[in-house]
């Protein structure tokens, strides 16, 4: 690897340290803080001139603060004459606002894409977008990694008996089918209804057999937990022996963790794309690191190699 420097935004230090450890590199040094007037300040403490610069930002709340810090950091790198600036967003900010599905609303994920471009980024690497079409919002390169193989590998090692992958609704059936093929087990489908703009999901029936089986529920992210809890309840109602959940992004908004802890789910497995504070961790939640996957993507980009193999579970 040549002429490379990796920097962490304020809440991404731990994730960045894992990436740098994998690559046997030292994390770059910079200052990032606020003035008394609430304005952000970013300064690199070392030269980035003609360097291949990687800026890592996670999505710990407050989210809007993370966006502003990232944009200022990109601009600072650009003005410091970095050769190439790659933004690493393990979880893409505002990813769920990806279409104009109501009158007079913004497509915020596209706005974020344009802001990152305008600030001066040359490339973005992210993971398991809510909608893969978000990649088309960029005029610069946007690579989308996946945490699927990590989740599949984790559950394969558990050697659960009589597994069935359960799709939370018709929209997630394609995703569930992929997991069922990788785990070599059948799938079932929950018939679910969602009303208006609220986060309340109502599961009404299940197509397929979960009785006396280990039910596995996969999704890209767990936010309020409403969809997952409804799925857990209906699996339990239909006689599932054990219920597990897996997601790339553990958002756990609001009281999601408390509600999930009270549910009958046995284990929830997520990656560390979004930091989970120690005080919020519970025994039911297992966090596995996806940092090595991003580290390998950084290595390949720096060396001019293809990323295609990173999308294959076998690799």
Give the 3-state secondary structure of 70-82: HHHHHHHHHHCCC
Query: What is the pLDDT, as a whole number, of residue 315?
Result: 44
CA distance 73 to 127: 21
Sheet of 52-56: strand order equals: 4-8, 52-56, 84-89, 123-127, 141-145
Q: Is the pLDDT of residue 91 over 70?
A: yes
User: pLDDT: is 174 or 312 the higher one?
Assistant: 174
With cut-offs at 50, 70 and 90, classify the pLDDT of residue 205: confident
Can you list the domains of the chain with their CATH numbers? 4-146+291-311 (3.40.50.2020), 148-288 (3.40.50.2020)
Q: Using one digit for the tens of pLDDT, what is the confidence trace for 138-192? A: 999 999 999 999 999 999 999 999 999 999 988 889 999 999 999 999 999 998 6
- Locate 33 and state its tokens: 């803080």
> Model's pTM, two decimal places?
0.92
Q: Using one digit for the tens of pLDDT, what is the confidence trace for 32-90? A: 999 999 999 999 999 999 999 999 999 888 999 999 999 999 999 999 999 999 999 99
Torsion of CA 253, 259, 261, 265, to 10 degrees: -100
Q: Using one digit for the tens of pLDDT, what is the confidence trace for 269-291? A: 999 999 999 899 999 999 999 99
Catalytic (active site) residue 175: no
- What is the average pLDDT across 191-216? 74
CA distance 214 to 203: 19
Q: Using one digit for the tens of pLDDT, what is the confidence trace for 227-257? A: 899 999 999 999 999 999 999 999 999 999 9
User: pLDDT: is 253 or 311 the higher one?
Assistant: 253
Q: Is the pLDDT of residue 18 over 80?
A: yes
Q: Are 51 and 82 in contact (CB under 8 A)?
A: yes
Going by DSSP bridges, is the β-strand pair 40-44/30-34 parallel, antiparallel, or unpaired? antiparallel
Q: Are 251 and 223 in contact (CB under 8 A)?
A: yes
DSSP-assigned letter for residue 229? H
Please name the residue ranges forming H helices in the chain: 13-23, 63-79, 108-119, 148-158, 173-183, 226-237, 256-262, 291-302
| Catalytically annotated residue among 5, 30, 110, 192 | 192
Q: Is the pLDDT of residue 195 over 60?
A: no
Instruction: State the chain's maximal CA–CA distance in angstroms.
Output: 61
Q: Is the pLDDT of residue 314 over 90?
A: no
Q: What are the angstrom distances between the C-alpha of 216 and each of 155, 177, 184, 189, 281?
A: 9, 12, 12, 12, 21
CB atoms near residue 276 (< 10 Å)? 17
Examine residue 36 and say whether the peptide bond preceding it is cis (omega within 30 degrees of 0).
Answer: no
């Amino acid at each position: 690897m040549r002429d490379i420097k990796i920097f962490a935004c304020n809440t991404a230090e731990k994730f960045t340290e894992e990436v740098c450890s994998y690559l046997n590199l030292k994390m770059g040094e910079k200052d990032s803080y606020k003035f008394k007037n609430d304005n952000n300040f970013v300064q690199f403490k070392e030269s980035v001139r003609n360097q291949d610069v990687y800026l890592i930002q996670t999505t710990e709340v407050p989210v809007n603060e993370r966006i502003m810090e990232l944009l200022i950091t990109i601009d600072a790198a650009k003005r410091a004459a970095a050769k190439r600036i790659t933004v690493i967003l393990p979880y893409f900010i505002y990813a769920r606002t990806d279409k104009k599905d109501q009158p007079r609303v913004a497509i915020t994920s596209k706005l974020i894409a344009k802001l990152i471009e305008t600030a001066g980024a040359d490339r973005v690497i992210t993971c398991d977008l809510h909608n893969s079409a978000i990649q088309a919002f960029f005029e610069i390169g946007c690579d989308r990694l996946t945490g699927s193989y990590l989740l599949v590998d984790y559950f394969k090692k558990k050697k659960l008996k009589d597994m069935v992958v359960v799709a939370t609704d018709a929209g997630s059936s394609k995703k569930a089918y992929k997991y069922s093929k990788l785990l070599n087990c059948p799938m079932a489908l929950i018939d679910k209804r969602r009303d208006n703009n609220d986060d309340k999901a109502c599961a009404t029936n299940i197509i397929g057999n979960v009785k006396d089986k280990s039910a596995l529920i996969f999704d890209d992210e767990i936010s309020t937990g409403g969809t997952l809890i409804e799925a857990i309840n209906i699996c339990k109602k239909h006689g599932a022996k054990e219920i597990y959940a897996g997601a790339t992004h553990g958002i756990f908004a609001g009281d999601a963790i408390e509600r999930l802890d009270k549910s009958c789910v046995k284990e929830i497995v997520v990656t560390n794309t979004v930091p989970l504070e120690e005080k919020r961790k519970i025994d039911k939640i297992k966090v596995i690191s996806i940092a090595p996957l991003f580290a390998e993507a950084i290595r390949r980009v720096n060396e001019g190699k293809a990323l295609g193999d990173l999308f294959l579970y076998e690799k």
